[in-house]
A and B are shown apart, each in its own frame.
Chain A
Amino acid sequence: MTVTLPMTWTTVCDYHVLLPERGVCALVGGEQVAVFRTFDGAVYAIGNLDPFSGAHVLSRGIVGTRGGEPTVASPLHKQVFSLVTGACLDEPGTAVPTYPARVADGRVEVAARAALPERDGPVNASGRSLVDAP
């Protein structure tokens, strides 16, 4: 079953507040979301919870690329996550949720969790995906 709900966009901050290759953390629908701006100006949002340490810290990781894919490294133990898919590139099978993100009228907006397609699979309390990414 696919749940189709209208996206609920939450304004996070002005776009210029989000510095290139740095992250911020925002509360979106009660959840901690890490929002990043990459060098090319794109914005991405993933869960802020680091599934390896249980600490909400991913917004404070170093943004970069791996094979051209935009990434963030956990500031605690340096596991690298894709900003596009949320998958951990160092430990296959582990992932963090991703959220739709966009820039509208000079503001960064993130869609609340309810808009996530179900194919991302159930996610346990720590944010670790319970099934392998499709």
Chain B
Amino acid sequence: MSRVVVAGYGPAAHRFVEALRERGFDGRITVIGEEPRPAYDRVALTSYLTGTSLADLTYAVPEGVETLLGTRVTGIDREARVVATAGGATVPYDVLVLATGSAPFVPPVPGAEHAHVYRTIDDLDAIRAASDGASEGVVVGGGLLGLEAADALRGLGLRTHIVEMSPWLMPRQVDEGGGAVLKGHIEDLGLSVHAGAGVQEVVTDAEGRVTGLRKPDGSLLDAQIVVFSAGIRPRDELARAAGIDVGERGGVVVDAGMRTSDPAVYAIGECALAGGQVYGLVGPCNTMAEVAADRILGGTAVFEGADLSTKLKLLGVEVAQFGAMSGALDVTYMDPVGGVYKRLFISDDARTLLGGICVGDAAPYATLRPFVGKPLPAAPADLLFTGTGAAGLDLPDEAQVCSCNNVSAGAVRAAIADKGVSDVPGVKACTRAGTTCGSCVPMLKQLLEKSGVEISKALCEHFTYSRAELFDIIRVRGVTTFSELIAGHGTGRGCDICKPTVASILASLHNGHVLEGERAALQDTNDAYLANIQKNGTYSVVPRIPGGEITPDKLIVIGEVARDFGLYTKITGGQRIDLFGARVEQLPQIWKRLVDAGFESGHAYGKALRTVKSCVGSTWCRYGVQDSVGLAIALELRYRGLRAPHKLKSAVSGCARECAEARSKDFGIIATEQGWNLYVGGNGGFKPRHADLFASDLTTDELIRTIDRFLMYYIRTADRLQRTAAWVESIEGGLDHVRDVIVNDSLGLCAELDAQMAHHVSTYEDEWRATIEDPEKLSRFVSFVNAPGVPDPSIVFERERDQIKPMVVTP
């Protein structure tokens, strides 16, 4: 068999071709997709409307896979084993895989043709276009996708109604009690919920513009947009026309190996009817893709149906359901004030866990789902609260840990034992567990811990604590010196790892001069000399140029200083100027000249805020929508000198063209018509990462408050030398957790974070100026303590392109 053709290019098709390649298939693969783009992440679809780019959502086409995009398969000639496309092409196959997905169900009511659906990028573009000038929207369907769509409409600034046929929202995931709590949450957000209501008609005006939605009782909801999200129908028309068996209520009938009634044709994903059921969740569809790939290559994999457990966060509310939705016995916890509903179903002998429902707090989900069908791991009352009762117990090997990718506890244990995987990213890479929705990551951590993988958090031989723990010790106990800390909480006298770490924490918390008293002995050479050491032991000097804006006069001063001290001069990537080749005794003289001209330290040497780059913004640029330079300067002056676990870089772009490259920064800001979008967790460097959208359309005050808290929370909790990019990826709960902490104040920390930043801003002083004004500190800037006037004779330069460069010394 040499050629596999896939009809349809959604996530299931993508996983299928990936699986085929991973299993070593070297024949020809052709994917024919209706949309003009490769498959993309539909689970994250709504984020497209809040700033995530299509490129970020799109899956990479696996190497060597041919794609025919913007067309579709229109017919199958099973005898000749050829498919025809809408463009008139014919493509022969040895094996055909139907992955045609599903279509949103639109009820046949008058005016339905004027309504939108919510499935593809094109659908979202259409909704966004229609929202311009609209003030109200209706979503028909209060299930999982319907609430996603409602969130999207709300995000577009519309007053949003949700109409659901069933008596409560999300009837497939929650029971009546859970539905009531869910409704409360959603109404608190300003959305209107109309449960137990149907649709009579989509009302339009004479021009065909939507004006509202009429319910069967005759009442009218005013709306300029109506979105139908009331279920899906498998797209089985190709199979039907080709005489391949389809189910009575739709779906291409497949066996346990995903094969249709034609042995050369398989079906996977939402178009397949497996075991009498159509699956609309990403997890089972991925499993089908894997099974089909295995079978085509001669394997014996079987699709045994799927766990339809779900845990998600919709409109800020956690909802989870696992296992059965009924049982002989049940234990229910309900807190209508806090908006929490949790219910467990157990067998009549009160020994076996059958399932559960959570609304408002899904903590028990991760620990309890693997116990479905197994003996209750603890008393039901304990399990309802956070599920910690289960956390201490061992999962059986066959328990499914990741339902999105069908990974069992045993598979994770095997990866740890056989492949030496020792951390969560390793488990993800090895097993795919945790790579889709991420809700099982806490389970993965537990499995790692229980497998005896010791993830030492000790900073070095002198402290058994992590950086975050040391930060808390120093903060809570009011420690002000390293000696006090190591005497009370460590051993020995420290090293080049713990000393700079503690120096940074002390600076973050107290903001005194880094060379004051004992602190001077803690600093790396760069901080000790307030300059950047270079390969020959000389230093480079970078004055701060906030936002990259500089007057000609100040530019001339930098030129004069460089000329007079004979320094190599280079423009940096952060829109400032680096002066190289200064000996230690020259540093104070150089600073003096710069400080007298109004410059200050640029902290290019510190694990601290470096620069805030900017584009020229609305002041000059014909495209700019906000004053990016003004904001960049304000931010750079606010956060200058802020010591952090690692360097911090920022940028501000004045429009969506993003000339300042803000998304490659720890915190980047992009102007919108309404204000500012904040992105966090980006960096260039060894492992580039684009920053993630954190908040949209903020006012300048809101923006600054959010950044204040983000930075302070990062400083408080990150590991040593962990950039924000690695921090947001490693912190438990990810960016949602960070958002919860600093936007919703879920830990009650915000006032403290705000106060810490206010302290930093009010106590900032220029380290260069303070040093040249202090004779004691100044006296340390000599090459030789017993010959202060003598320059280091080992430092020699040669010339290249009219500037100095260090003479290479071979050790």
Contacts and interface: CB of A to CB of B under 8 A. Distances in A.
Contacts of B535: 53, 55, 76
B785 A64 contact: no
B389 interface: no
A21 B521 contact: yes
A68 B809 CA distance: 34
Nearest to B784: A27
B306 interface: no
B605 to A, nearest CB: 12
B811 A52 contact: yes
B493 interface: yes
B536 interface: yes
B811 A64 contact: no
B150 to A, nearest CB: 55
Nearest to A69: B492
B790 interface: yes
A46 interface: no
B85 interface: no
B interface SS class: loop
Contacts of A55: 535-537, 794, 809
A67 B536 contact: no
A26 B783 CA distance: 8
A62 B784 CA distance: 18
Nearest to B518: A20
Given A53-B535, A57-B537, A12 B493 contact: no
A73 interface: yes
A86 B520 CA distance: 24
B528 to A, nearest CB: 7
A80 B492 CA distance: 15
A10 to B, nearest CB: 7
Interface string A53-74: 1111100111111111011010
B500 interface: yes
B786 interface: yes
A32 B785 contact: no
A97 interface: no
Interface in B500-525: 500, 518, 520-525
B236 to A, nearest CB: 64
Contacts, number: 109
Given A56-B537, A56-B794, A57-B537, A65 B500 contact: no
A80 B528 CA distance: 18
B810 interface: yes
B778 interface: no
B496 interface: yes
A24 B783 CA distance: 8
B787 interface: yes
B461 A66 contact: yes
Contacts of B499: 62, 64
Nearest to A11: B786
Contacts of A12: 785-786
Contacts of A70: 493
Given A25-B785, A27-B787, A51 B811 contact: yes
Given A56-B792, A56-B794, A78 B493 contact: no
A103 interface: no
A124 to B, nearest CB: 10
B521 A19 contact: yes
Nearest to B538: A55
Interface in B518-574: 518, 520-525, 528-529, 533, 535-537
Contacts of B522: 62
- For chain A, the bracket of interface size reads 35 or more
B492 to A, nearest CB: 4
Contact of B496 (A19, A38, A49, A62): A62
A3 interface: no
A20 B521 contact: yes
Contact of B493 (A10, A17, A53, A65): A65
Interface string A97-124: 0000000000000000000000000000
Contacts of A17: 779, 785
A6 B461 CA distance: 41
A13 B786 CA distance: 6
B198 interface: no
Contacts of B524: 62, 75
A35 B785 CA distance: 10
A50 B535 CA distance: 11
Contacts of B809: 54-55
A65 B528 contact: no
A24 B521 contact: no
B247 interface: no
A26 B786 contact: yes
B804 to A, nearest CB: 16
A76 B634 CA distance: 34
Contacts of A32: 784, 792, 794
B461 A67 contact: yes
Contacts of B495: 62, 64-66, 71, 73, 80
A60 B528 contact: yes
A12 B784 CA distance: 9
Interface in A1-59: 10-13, 17, 19-22, 24-27, 32, 35, 38-39, 49-57
Contacts of A21: 493, 521
B494 interface: yes
A38 B536 CA distance: 26
Contacts of B518: 20
Contacts of B810: 54
A76 B462 CA distance: 22
B493 A39 contact: yes
A127 B499 CA distance: 27
A20 to B, nearest CB: 6
A64 B495 CA distance: 5
A108 B151 CA distance: 72
Nearest to B779: A17
Interface of A: 10-13, 17, 19-22, 24-27, 32, 35, 38-39, 49-57, 60-68, 70-71, 73, 75-76, 78, 80, 126, 128
Given A54-B810, A65-B492, A128-B811, 10 more contacts: A13-B786, A26-B786, A27-B784, A27-B786, A60-B525, A62-B496, A64-B493, A64-B494, A64-B499, A66-B492
Q: Which 3 A-B pairs have the closest CB atoms?
A: A75-B525, A73-B496, A54-B809
25 contacts: A12-B785, A13-B785, A22-B520, A25-B785, A26-B786, A26-B787, A27-B787, A35-B785, A39-B493, A54-B536, A54-B810, A55-B535, A55-B537, A62-B499, A63-B493, A64-B462, A64-B493, A64-B494, A64-B495, A64-B499, A67-B461, A70-B493, A73-B496, A75-B524, A76-B535
